[in-house]
């Protein structure tokens, strides 16, 4: 169907066009305890079409997009493309050009059957006790193939594995039973890491059973040591997205430090082409641009914008791409050197959010550790809030790094002066 759509696009009158054809074979297993609730297969194809049209003598470019079902008849596909050509004239955006540099893809198959089997076996091997065990888990293993074709001569296919395991663990004593939630995404099954992560979560569950209420300490240092820390680095990277900058949602500028009066470590964040077993190791991005290693922010100073070709064009940034893997450099101290003094270490939030526009962070604490020197008290309840734009000038980043799927980041980040509302 895709080739037929391409032929229709070539004769549509469009000044430029793009087609993305994504095929996914996904195997899914849903378990309650270790008993199978349901098994599922996804065998699907999605064909996304974008039609571009020069307007006002090429000053503007109109664009319209839509998915064309693989079951569409040729007549249906032609009508959709004709409609898109018409619709493109309704939206006048500043002119930009699609990617045209020749790129190499990678086309191989990954076996979802093997991936899924590996996950089932790992989950069966997690050490459980009468006090801490697995409530339920969902396994998603996918073989994905994405072909991108545009009017400028790019026709490239990338294939990649993607997997997710959602796990709920329980811990109980004579008085109560509690649960903790985790979702792990990666390329294929990383047995060792998964066992470690879930074992850690089971330990957290045990601690939550004896947690006291979070003290109302006003402002204090908060140390992030779990996947939640990724959101802080992602916020920094997202502030450098070309679309954010162009739309006025980021005031960060190339060459101008993102904060003054730095008391701790500075941030160095880069886009990287590959990370071990990332679910997004693409040599080519979703718009046909080559992916490579590229600094985004170096020592708190913005270096490069990244993102969609449209917004990069508007900012005059040619040699960039849609980044999917990120690396944040470590700081001056080791994790053990940072883990001193009085601080709160939240390891489970109901939801930890970072507002991309305001930089506000917020999360209700389901489990944290209140560290006072050598004394460590598990606590729960209350919340952590603050504004990153104010907080990033006083942080400590560990030398050690840790990977969470698409992000390699310092294993801990300690932020001073975060507001802690007690339970």
Partner 1 sequence: MKAKFSKYLNDIALNLKEMIAELAKNYDYVSVLSTDSVGFNVRVSQRVKTIDGSNLTTERGNVIRVYKDGLYSEYSFNRFEGDAAAMAAKAKGVLDRQLAVLKETNSEIYNTPKLEDEKQELFVEMETGLLPEETDLSALVDKLQKLSDEGVALSDEVIDCICAGQSTHICKMFLTPNKDLRQSYVISEGFVYMIGDRDGNSNQAINGISDREGPEIFDRLGDLVEKSFKELQDNLGSDHVIPGEYEIITAPDVSGLIAHEAFGHGVEMDMFVKKRALGADYIDKRVGSDLVTMHEGATCVKDVSSFAFDDEGTLAGDVIEIDKGILKTGICDALAALRLGTKPTGNGKRENFEHKAYTRMTNTMFDKGTSTKEELIASVKKGYLLSGIESGMEDPKHWGIQCIIARGYEIIDGKLTGKVVSPVVLTGYVPDLLGSISMASNDYMSFGEGACGKGHKEWVKVSDGGPYLKAVARLG
Does residue 232 belong to the site contacting partner 1 (CB under 8 A)? no
- By C-alpha distance, which of 148, 169, 194 is closest to 50? 148
Nearer Cβ to partner 1 (171/333): 171
Does residue 394 belong to the site contacting partner 1 (CB under 8 A)? no
- Site for partner 1, residues 278 to 317, rule: CB under 8 A: 310
Does residue 102 belong to the site contacting partner 1 (CB under 8 A)? no
Nearer Cβ to partner 1 (23/412): 23
How far is C-alpha 393 from the geometric centre of its chain's CA atoms?
24
Nearer Cβ to partner 1 (143/268): 143
- The residue within the footprint of partner 1, chosen from 383, 399, 400, 417 (CB under 8 A), is 383
- Site for partner 1, residues 166 to 185, rule: CB under 8 A: 166, 168, 177-179, 181, 183
Size of the site for partner 1 (CB under 8 A): 83
Does residue 93 belong to the site contacting partner 1 (CB under 8 A)? yes
Does residue 332 belong to the site contacting partner 1 (CB under 8 A)? no
Does residue 336 belong to the site contacting partner 1 (CB under 8 A)? no
Does residue 74 belong to the site contacting partner 1 (CB under 8 A)? no
Does residue 97 belong to the site contacting partner 1 (CB under 8 A)? no
Closest separation between CB of residue 325 and partner 1, Å?
20
- The residue within the footprint of partner 1, chosen from 22, 30, 277, 286 (CB under 8 A), is 30
Closest separation between CB of residue 318 and partner 1, Å?
19
Closest separation between CB of residue 134 and partner 1, Å?
11
- Which of the stretches 193-201, 243-251, 287-295, 317-325 binds partner 1 when contact is defined by CB under 8 A? 243-251
- The residue within the footprint of partner 1, chosen from 42, 256, 292, 332 (CB under 8 A), is 42
Does residue 84 belong to the site contacting partner 1 (CB under 8 A)? yes
- Site for partner 1, residues 245 to 274, rule: CB under 8 A: 246-249, 251
Does residue 124 belong to the site contacting partner 1 (CB under 8 A)? yes
């Amino acid at each position: 169907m895709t080739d037929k759509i391409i032929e229709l696009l070539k004769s549509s009158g469009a000044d430029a066009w793009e087609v993305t054809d994504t095929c996914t074979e996904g195997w899914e297993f849903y378990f309650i305890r270790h008993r199978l609730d349901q098994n599922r297969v996804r065998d699907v194809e999605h064909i996304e079409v974008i039609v571009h049209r020069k307007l006002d003598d090429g000053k503007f470019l109109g664009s319209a997009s839509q998915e064309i079902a693989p079951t569409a008849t040729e007549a249906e596909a032609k009508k959709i493309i004709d409609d898109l050509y018409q619709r493109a004239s309704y939206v006048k955006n500043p002119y930009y050009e699609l990617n045209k540099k020749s790129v190499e893809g990678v086309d191989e198959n990954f076996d979802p059957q093997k991936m899924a089997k590996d996950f089932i076996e790992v989950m069966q091997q997690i050490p459980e006790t009468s006090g801490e065990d697995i409530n339920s888990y969902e396994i998603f293993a996918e073989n994905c193939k994405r072909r991108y074709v545009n009017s400028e001569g790019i026709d490239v296919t990338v294939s990649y594995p993607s997997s997710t395991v959602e796990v709920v663990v329980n811990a109980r004593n004579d008085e109560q039973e509690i649960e903790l939630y985790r979702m792990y995404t990666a390329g294929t099954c990383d047995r060792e890491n998964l066992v470690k992560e879930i074992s850690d979560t089971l330990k957290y569950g045990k601690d939550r059973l004896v947690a006291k209420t979070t003290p109302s300490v006003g402002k204090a240092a908060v140390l992030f040591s779990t996947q939640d820390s990724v959101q802080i680095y992602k916020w920094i990277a997202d502030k450098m997205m070309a679309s954010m900058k162009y739309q006025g949602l980021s005031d960060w500028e190339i060459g101008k430090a993102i904060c003054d009066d730095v008391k701790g470590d500075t941030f160095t964040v880069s886009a990287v082409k590959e990370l071990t077993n990332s679910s997004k190791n693409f040599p080519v991005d979703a718009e046909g641009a080559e992916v490579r290693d590229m600094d985004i922010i170096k020592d708190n100073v913005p270096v490069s914008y990244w993102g969609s070709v449209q917004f990069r064009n508007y900012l005059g940034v040619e040699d960039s791409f849609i980044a999917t893997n990120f690396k944040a450099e470590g700081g001056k101290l080791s994790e053990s050197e940072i883990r001193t003094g009085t601080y709160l270490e939240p390891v489970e939030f109901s939801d930890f959010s970072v507002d991309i526009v305001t930089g506000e962070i917020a999360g209700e604490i389901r489990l944290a550790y209140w560290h006072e020197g050598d004394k460590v008290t598990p606590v729960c309840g209350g919340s952590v809030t603050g504004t990153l734009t104010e907080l990033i000038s006083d942080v400590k980043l560990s030398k050690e790094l840790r990977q969470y799927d698409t992000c390699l980041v310092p294993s801990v980040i300690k932020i001073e002066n975060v507001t802690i509302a007690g339970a």
